[in-house]
Amino acid sequence: MQAMRRLMHALVVLAVATTVSAQQAPTATPTPATPAAPATPTTPATPAAAAPAATTTSNITGVLAKGGQFNTFIRLLKSTGMASQIDTQATNNRNGLTVFAPTDNAFTSLPSGTLNSLSDQDKNALVQYHVVSTAIPMSQFDTVSNPLRTQAGSTSPGEYPLNVTSEGQQVNITTGVVNATVSNTLYTSDNMVVYTVDKVLLPPKLFGKAEAPAPAPALAPAKKKGKTPASVADSPEAEASPDATASHAAAMVTGGGGALAAAIALAGVWWGL
């Protein structure tokens, strides 16, 4: 019983001490939270400007149209289908292309009806004759080997030979039919070079003069045959010789004409003498 009292007394003392301690402790003042600064709106990033497209073109008709004096050559390129072929080859051919472009004045100087007289195949060959399957810079014309082989084909005489000579910045072209001059460089890139020429390059195969045929051998004069004695005798202008008259008289004697006939014949002989 006494133990219970002690326990209760201890509990009461502990409770009182706890209450006093709590009253003596300072009360912490809560610190108000600092309001967060409003978020600054993010400005959307400006998209980067697209890179401008390259203005250089390897389109052959575009290059010529920009030159302004190649309308006839452009029509030929389109009608023969060579325009698209040149564009494709300029892109895929590692060696590039060289194009000799005649001006409109060059075509005008041709005889009237020259182009109209050509077949479609000949027109195609004419355009191909102006294209070399290698890009040749102006500075390398003095190192090329003649004759140049064009896309028209064989370089044999009378076919499609093209000879180039260079002196400084002047380049001359000879086809065997015409002599032309490279006026200037119209366009140049790694895969194609286009030169202006003052004349249409006419290949011998299409415009060369045909060789005159060899003259036929003269016939040997016929030998005059002399007249045979018979023909002479039959000629009304021929005079009877004494021997012929005598033979005739002898024939009459043999035939039984008698002495009178023989006498007449002999008289005729002597009369003729």
Q: What is the pLDDT of residues 134-163, one digit of tens each?
A: 999 999 998 999 999 999 998 888 899 999
Two tokens, residue 119: 């077949």
For residue 76, count other CB atoms closer than 10 A to its CB. 22
Flag whether pLDDT at 124 surpasses 60.
yes
Helices and strands, number each (H, E), in the chain: 10, 6
Q: Tell me whether the omega of the peptide bond preceding residue 221 falls within 30 degrees of 0, making it cis.
A: no
Kindly report, residue by residue over 66-101, the tens digit of the pLDDT. Answer: 999 999 999 999 999 999 999 999 888 889 999 999
178 closest CA partner among 209, 199, 156, 157: 199
Q: Which of 182, 43, 54, 35 is nearest to 106 (CA)?
A: 182
**Per-residue pLDDT tens digits for 223-245:** 555 544 444 444 444 444 445 44
What is the separation of C-alpha 82 from the centre of its chain, rounded to a whole number of angstroms? 8
- For residue 165, what is the enclosing H or E element? strand 163-167
Helix (H, G, I), strand (E, B) or coil at 197: strand
The stretches of the chain forming alpha helices (DSSP H) are 2-24, 60-67, 71-80, 82-92, 104-108, 120-128, 204-207, 229-234, 242-254, 258-272
- Residue-range domain boundaries for the chain: 60-207, 242-273
Q: What gap in Å lies between CA 168 and CA 216, rounded to an integer?
A: 50
Tell me the CATH number for domain 60-207. 2.30.180.10
Q: Is 211 helix (H, G, I), strand (E, B) or coil?
A: coil
Q: Work out the pLDDT band at 168, boundaries 50, 70, 90.
A: confident
Percent of the chain with pLDDT over 70: 55
Q: Which two tokens stand for residue 91?
A: 């892109």
Query: What residues contact residue 244 under an 8 Å CB cut-off, 6+ apart?
Result: 233
Residue 184's SS3 state is strand
pTM for the model: 0.57
Position 24 confidence tier, pLDDT thresholds 50, 70, 90: low
